[in-house]
Amino acid sequence: MWLSTQVGLSSFVYTCGVDVPQTKFPIDYINKTVSLKYFGREFLFHLSHGLFSSNDVDVGSRLLLKSIAQRLDLSRLATVLDVGCGMGVIGIAIGGACPASRLLFQDRDALAMAFARENSKANGIENAEFDCGLAFWNLGDRVFDLVVSNLPAKAGRPVLESFFRVAPHFLSRSGLGAVVIVSPLEGLARDSIQSSGCLLYHAESTSQHSVFFFQRPETLPTPDQPLVSLSPYMRARQKFFAGDVDYELETAYNLPDFDTIGYGVKLAQDVLQHAVIKGKAVFWNPGQGHLPVSVENRWPLGLDSVMIAGRDALELAITERNLSAAGRQAVKALLLPTDASLAETVEAGSIDLLCAVLRPVPKAPWPADLVISAEAILRKGGALLALGESTEVFRVLGLCRKFKVLESKKRFGHRAVLLQRQ
């Protein structure tokens, strides 16, 4: 389990094993700015096409905030935790209505945390912390008067059940959990609250969403497993084959390529098959860890050091776990909001190989950000491996004026291309 050292209000929580460096806010990733009125105050929120609800404050969050306003005395709140905060709407609105409360925003997506932080600043929310990581990780023995969450349906049943099992342990004695979930999962939420031993304080539903308020039981059950771990996210351990190399991965729910190797990754493995792998490597958006683990198995003595980086704390956690099982120790992991953040955080001219899985963000300059970062961190003669949908790879190639194409493979709308830094 990662331990944490908190570095004060209005800062990120730094985690052993994973660094969450503060980087420039990606202003070019703002899609639009919208307003929300709450307790007579108008809040402004920057939205992004790279995040949930990119055109307006979502209906579920509005419903949860309305229910909280009708049933809770916010002036009595001293501490609030917003789990899976996204752009920060729920926590910011509550913090604005109760400025004396201390807020902690938590999300596994570094881009979401960057927007939550910027939106907090824009709305004058000062008494806040920002923890980029998985739900309830890094909290130690802290408890909160209110734990709120707009629970994502795509998280999967084991993760959602884990939320309701773990949340009571982070509630103060008089604390309250308040969540909204899509209506098809109403039964799961209700059953999970009951099985956790919590008292169901309030429930309401619309055609689209259900809201639940719950209180911790009088006596918290002794957990039969660690409160926070990767267990709820884990899917299976299985063997994969890449040419003449086979390797094993533990795979996680909610990430691609969990049972088969995707076309992009398979093409990348083929492109690398005859390459010379040595020196220092960075794997950007490593997913389940297919590329770094297959490279580790094919060239066990080739790389002096391995760095993994990306937006998603779950990707970094599962990839680090799989690399460790493959024998790679001391992996450096960086949680970063955008492709541009690589140039801000990785030493210039220090990298021999950058493997980048392309993750498009509509109407954002991510292709230019990636190329600029590659130019900055790769040494001359170093290699950039870019993989993804053919259209997106083509957009990146059009900007690679300081690179020479060494090899390229296409299949079923996907492409992997290996380039050399000139």
**Distance between CA 363 and CA 29 in Å, rounded?**
7
Placement of tokens 């209505």 in the chain = 97
Distance of CA 417 to the CA centre of its chain: 26
pLDDT per position as a tens digit, 231-257: 999 999 999 998 888 999 999 988 999
Predicted local confidence at residue 96, as pLDDT: 96
Identify residue 131 by its one-letter amino acid code. D
The CATH number of domain 4-215 is 3.40.50.150: yes
Tens-of-pLDDT digits for all 422 residues of the chain?
222 223 333 333 334 357 788 899 999 999 999 999 999 999 999 999 999 999 999 999 999 999 999 999 998 899 999 999 999 999 999 999 999 999 999 999 999 999 999 999 999 999 999 999 999 999 999 999 999 999 999 999 999 999 999 999 999 999 999 999 999 999 999 999 999 999 999 999 999 999 999 999 998 988 878 889 999 999 999 999 988 889 999 999 889 999 999 999 999 999 998 888 999 999 999 999 999 999 999 998 889 999 999 999 999 999 999 999 999 988 999 999 999 999 999 999 999 999 999 999 999 999 999 999 999 999 999 999 999 999 999 999 999 999 999 999 999 999 999 999 99
CB-CB contact of 224 with 277 (8 Å):
no
| Segments making up each domain of the chain, as ranges | 4-215, 234-421
State the CATH architecture for 234-421: 3-Layer(aba) Sandwich (3.40)
Q: Do domains 4-215 and 234-421 have the same CATH topology?
A: yes
**Distance between CA 147 and CA 149 in Å, rounded?**
7
DSSP secondary structure of 374-394: HHHHEEEEEEEEEEEEHHHHH
DSSP secondary structure of 151-219: --GGG-HHHHHHHHHHGGGGEEEEEEEEEEEEGGGHHHHHHHHHHTT-EEEEEEE-SSEEEEEEE--SS
CB half-sphere exposure, 208, CA atoms < 13 A: 8
**Distance between CA 422 and CA 403 in Å, rounded?**
5
